[in-house]
Amino acid sequence: MTRSPESDARTRLVDATTELLWERGYAATSPRAIMDRAEVGQGSLYHHFAGKEALAAAAFEHRAAETFAAADALLSADRPAPQRIRDYLLRQRDVLRGCPVGRMAQDADVLTSAPLQEILRTTFTRLRGLMRSVVAEGIRTGDFPADLDPQELADTVLAVVQGGYVLARAQGSAVPFHRAVTGAVALIDHAATPTTGSST
């Protein structure tokens, strides 16, 4: 189906904003930069969106949905719980660009924008809940010990990933990230019962 010029312009605006938010963050992304990247005029921007915040919310929601879907594909796979968490930790990432969702939490302007803050909060709440459910399932199946706290381990795994991004970007090298997730995998292997073992 051929898209209309109006829908094509809207798509280009969202795509351009999605990339610019990841590259520069919200505060440093101007409407002019978005229009230049999308190759549209001011009229198109304000025809589709009330302003920068509304456009950023549409772009951020799109990126957040993609990020959650990628995590869900690994964490909901038909594999033992410890292996799913290992797969999540070790999956291929564009480390030096940072997490497209977590990076937004470092932008003060995002934290004062109700729509953007809500997307950020909701995405991490869903991701924490998904990770917690995987750990809880592992406890039920005997892959993790019964005295393990699902939320503590879930938050630890997510904190390692997000903190690994920060260390890598600060050093300009992906090495600290890979060390962090490798260390987290070792923790998962230690926590897992002997029957699951490590397959990484």
Instruction: Please report whether residue 51 resides in a domain.
Output: no
- Split at pLDDT 50, 70, 90, the class of 193 is confident
Instruction: Please report whether residue 199 resides in a domain.
Output: no
Number of domains in the chain: 1
Q: What is the span of the domain harbouring residue 99?
A: 61-191
Question: pLDDT tens digits for 106-121?
Answer: 899 999 999 999 999 9
CA distance 198 to 125: 28
Instruction: Please report whether residue 46 resides in a domain.
Output: no
CA distances from 18 to 59, 133, 179, 197 (A): 5, 29, 29, 40
Which CATH number characterizes residue 111's domain?
Answer: 1.10.357.10
Instruction: Please report whether residue 29 resides in a domain.
Output: no
Instruction: Please report whether residue 66 resides in a domain.
Output: yes
- Split at pLDDT 50, 70, 90, the class of 196 is very low
DSSP notation for 69-132: HHHHHHHTSSS-HHHHHHHHHHS---GGG--TTGGGGG-HHHHT-HHHHHHHHHHHHHHHHHHH
Instruction: Please report whether residue 187 resides in a domain.
Output: yes
Instruction: Please report whether residue 27 resides in a domain.
Output: no
Instruction: Please report whether residue 198 resides in a domain.
Output: no
User: Do 100 and 22 meet the contact criterion of CB atoms below 8 Å apart?
Assistant: yes
